[in-house]
A and B are shown apart, each in its own frame.
Chain A
């Protein structure tokens, strides 16, 4: 179980770092398009690493599959929102 715990600590910390990067990117980048890049790359990867880190902690395969399903659905939603936002920004002339 020790290996599982170590894996969890490392992966979840990495995930948290990516959330930090996503947030810093959202704050620092000059315009909407670059912010969009930072936002979707970082938080989806951040969530992916958090889910990966949680897998060893979960007791049943169903729960593990549900975690992965949550991550896949968030990816799908995030990708679509990125397209929608980018289109709105592009058509709106961007800020």
Chain B
């Protein structure tokens, strides 16, 4: 079971990496914010899978922290007048 969870977390990390690396070159800044948001969610999913697979203490609490701050980057972007 842990092998499967590890494989799933690697898969999700690579999926998100492909999306991130392509869109980081994306035309508009707003696309880059989406890439960061995608990585946030993908990172949390990979974190939960890794944490469950290897029973790391505190993995879910780190995911909780990340989930709480997930919107922070985009809020700061829009607040300081970022646009596409």
Q: Verify whether A and B have any Cβ pair under 8 Å.
A: yes
Interface of A is mostly: helix
10 inter-chain pairs at a CB distance below 8 angstroms, sorted by A residue, are A16-B8, A19-B11, A23-B15, A23-B16, A43-B42, A50-B12, A70-B44, A84-B75, A95-B31, A95-B84
- Chain B residues with CB under 8 Å of chain A are 1, 4-5, 8, 11-12, 15-16, 18-19, 22-23, 27-28, 30-31, 33-35, 37-38, 40-42, 44-45, 48-49, 52, 60-61, 63-64, 67-68, 70-71, 74-75, 77-78, 82-84
| Interface core residue of B22, B34, B45, B68 (most chain A CB under 10 Å) | B45
Q: Looking at chain A, what size class is its interface with the partner chain?
A: 35 or more
Q: Are B45 and A19 in contact (CB under 8 A)?
A: yes
| In the complex, number of A-B residue pairs with CB atoms less than 8 Å apart | 157
From residue B61, how far is it (CB to closest CB) to chain A in Å?
Answer: 8
Binding site for B on A (CB under 8 A): 5, 8-9, 12-13, 15-16, 19-20, 22-23, 26-27, 32, 35-36, 39-40, 43-44, 46-47, 50-51, 54, 57-58, 63, 66-67, 69-71, 73-74, 76-78, 80-81, 84-85, 87-89, 91-95
